[in-house]
Amino acid sequence: MEKMKVIAEWTYTPAPIERGYTRKTLYVNVGEPRMEIKDVSQDMIDTFTGGRGFDLKLLWDAVKDTTKWNDPENEIVLSGGPLCGITQYPGAGKCYAAFISPLSGQTYDSNSGGYWGPLSKFSGFDAVEVQGKAEKDIILFINGDEGKIQILESNLKDLNAYAVTETLHEYFAVDEADKRNISVISTGKAAETSYYGCMNMSFYDPRRKVARLKQAGRGGGGSIMRDKKIAAMVVKFSKIGGNLNNVVDLDTLQRVGVKLHKEIHDLDDVQCKMRKVGTAHLNEIMDEYHLLPTNNYKFGQNAAEISKIHSAVYERLFTQGMPDGCWYGCSMSCAKAVDGFTVQTGPCKGEKVTVDGPEYETVASLGSNIGVYDPLWTIEANFYADHYGMDTISLGTAIAFVCECYELGLITKKDTNGLELNFGSKDDIMELIHRMADGKDEFASMVAKGIRYMKKAFAEKFKADAKTMEAIGMEGQGVETSEYVPKESIAQWGGYYLTLKGPQHDEAWLIFMDMVNKQLPTFEDKAEALHYFPNFRTWFSLVGLCKLPWNDVEPANNRIVNEPKEAAKVPEHVQNYVDIFNAVTGKGIRKEDLITMSEKVYNFQRVFQVRMKQGEANHNIPLRALGPVFPDEWEARREYYDGKLREIGIDPSALSTEEKIKKLQEYRLGMWEGLKMAVYKRRGWNKKGIPTVETLKRLGIDYPDVVAVVEKYSKPEDNFD
Amino acid sequence: MRLFLPFCILNLAVETSRFVQTDQGGIILRWLKTYVEKCINCGKCMETCSKTYFKEENPSLSRVVVTNPGAGQNISVCNQCGACMAVCPTEALYRDKNGVVQLDKSKCTSCLMCVGFCPTGNMLYAASKQTEPFKCVACGLCAKVCPTQALVLVND
Q: Answer yes or no: do A323 and B4 touch at CB < 8 A.
A: no
Neighbours of A292 (CB within 10 A): 28
Nearest CA-CA distance, residue A243 and chain B, Å: 7
CA–CA separation, A266 vs B51, rounded Å? 33
Neighbours of A341 (CB within 10 A): 18
Assign residue A295 a region: left if phi > 0, alpha if psi is -120 to 50, beta otherwise?
left
For the cut 50, the answer to whether the pLDDT of residue B17 exceeds it is: no
Asked whether A214 and A113 are in contact (CB, 8 A), the reply is yes
Question: Which member of B15, B90, B115 has the closest CB to residue A206?
Answer: B90
Task: Find the DSSP H helices in chain B.
Answer: 4-14, 44-54, 83-87, 113-117, 141-145
Residues of chain A with C-beta less than 8 angstroms from the C-beta of B111: 87-88, 242, 257, 328-329
Judged by a CB distance cut-off of 8 A, whether residue A397 touches chain B is no
CA–CA separation, A496 vs A213, rounded Å? 26
For the cut 80, the answer to whether the pLDDT of residue B9 exceeds it is: no
CA–CA separation, B94 vs B85, rounded Å? 6
CA–CA separation, A214 vs A389, rounded Å? 11
CA–CA separation, B146 vs B151, rounded Å? 7
For the cut 50, the answer to whether the pLDDT of residue B3 exceeds it is: no
Assign residue A329 a region: left if phi > 0, alpha if psi is -120 to 50, beta otherwise?
left
CATH code assigned to A5-236: 3.60.9.10
CA–CA separation, A292 vs A483, rounded Å? 7
3-state secondary structure of A284: helix
Largest CA distance in chain A: 78
pLDDT, averaged in runs of 10, over chain A (721 residues): 96 98 98 98 98 98 98 98 98 98 98 98 98 98 98 97 98 97 98 98 97 98 98 97 97 98 98 96 95 98 97 97 96 97 98 96 98 98 98 98 98 98 98 98 98 98 98 98 96 97 94 91 95 97 97 96 94 98 98 97 98 97 98 98 98 97 98 97 98 98 98 97 84
Hey, which residues 97-116 in chain B have their CB within 8 Å of chain A?
108-113, 115-116
Judged by a CB distance cut-off of 8 A, whether residue A260 touches chain B is yes
Residues of chain B with C-beta less than 8 angstroms from the C-beta of A242: 108-111, 131-132
Q: Answer yes or no: do A328 and B89 touch at CB < 8 A.
A: yes
Residues of chain A with C-beta less than 8 angstroms from the C-beta of B89: 206, 323, 325, 328-329
Residues of chain B with C-beta less than 8 angstroms from the C-beta of A206: 89-91
Cα–Cα nearest to B64, from B43, B92, B93, B40: B43
Contacts of A239 (CB under 8 A, 6+ apart): A122, A145
Q: Residue B15's pLDDT is what?
A: 38
Contacts of B139 (CB under 8 A, 6+ apart): B52
Reported confidence tier of residue B26, pLDDT bands at 50, 70, 90: low
Q: Where are the beta strands (DSSP E) in A453-500?
A: 475-476, 479-480
How many residues can be counted in chain A? 721
> Which listed CATH number (1.10.10.60, 1.10.569.10, 3.40.640.10, 2.170.190.11) goes with A259-480?
1.10.569.10
| Residues forming beta bridges with residue A98, ordered by sequence position | A77, A109
Cα–Cα nearest to A37, from A56, A51, A58, A52: A58
Sign of the Cα pseudo-torsion (A593, A598, A599, A600, in order):
positive
Name which of B4, B90, B104, B113 to mutate to probe chain A: the one with the most chain A Cβ atoms within 10 A of its Cβ: B113
Q: Phi and psi (nearest 5°) for A439?
A: 80, 0
Asked whether A1 and A17 are in contact (CB, 8 A), the reply is no
Contacts of A605 (CB under 8 A, 6+ apart): A56, A107, A109, A500, A501
Sign of the Cα pseudo-torsion (A433, A435, A438, A440, in order):
negative
CATH class of segment(s) A517-620+683-718: mainly alpha
Asked whether A542 and A601 are in contact (CB, 8 A), the reply is yes
Residues of chain B with C-beta less than 8 angstroms from the C-beta of A258: 112, 115-116, 125
Contacts of B82 (CB under 8 A, 6+ apart): B11, B12, B15, B16, B17, B18, B93, B95, B101
Q: Residue B139's pLDDT is what?
A: 96
For the cut 80, the answer to whether the pLDDT of residue B6 exceeds it is: no
Asked whether B70 and B59 are in contact (CB, 8 A), the reply is no
Q: Answer yes or no: do B89 and A323 touch at CB < 8 A.
A: yes
Q: Answer yes or no: do B3 and A270 touch at CB < 8 A.
A: yes
A127-131 vs A138-143, strand pairing mode: unpaired
A138-143 vs A230-236, strand pairing mode: parallel
Q: Residue B23's pLDDT is what?
A: 47
Asked whether A383 and A355 are in contact (CB, 8 A), the reply is yes
Contacts of B100 (CB under 8 A, 6+ apart): B30, B31, B80, B137, B138
**Average of per-residue pLDDT across B43-54:** 97
Measure CA of the first residue to CA of the last residue in chain B; give whole Å: 24
- Please give the residue of chain B at the shortest CA–CA distance from A265: B117
Asked whether B100 and B84 are in contact (CB, 8 A), the reply is no
CA–CA separation, A342 vs A348, rounded Å? 9
3-state secondary structure of A50: coil
Q: Residue B20's pLDDT is what?
A: 52
Q: Report CA dihedral (A518, A523, A526, A528) to the nearest 10 degrees.
A: -130
CA–CA separation, A341 vs A351, rounded Å? 8
Size of interface A-B (CB pairs under 8 A): 87
Half-sphere exposure of A326 (CA within 13 A, CB side): 32
Neighbours of A38 (CB within 10 A): 17
Judged by a CB distance cut-off of 8 A, whether residue A246 touches chain B is no
Concatenated DSSP letters of A14-35: PPPPBTTB--EEEEEETTTTEE
Task: Find the DSSP H helices in A187-241.
Answer: 221-227
pLDDT digits (tens, 9 = 90+) for B60-94: 999 999 998 777 889 999 999 999 999 999 999 99
Residues of chain A with C-beta less than 8 angstroms from the C-beta of B7: 265, 269
| Residues forming beta bridges with residue A186, ordered by sequence position | A200, A232
Assembly ipTM: 0.94
Cα–Cα nearest to A297, from A396, A219, A220, A380: A396
CA–CA separation, A242 vs A257, rounded Å? 13
CA–CA separation, B135 vs A191, rounded Å? 49
Entry pTM? 0.95
Cα–Cα nearest to A59, from A224, A217, A201: A224
Report which residue type is found at A68. K
Concatenated DSSP letters of A401-431: HHHHHHHTTSS-TTTTTS----TT-HHHHHH
Residues of chain A with C-beta less than 8 angstroms from the C-beta of B2: none
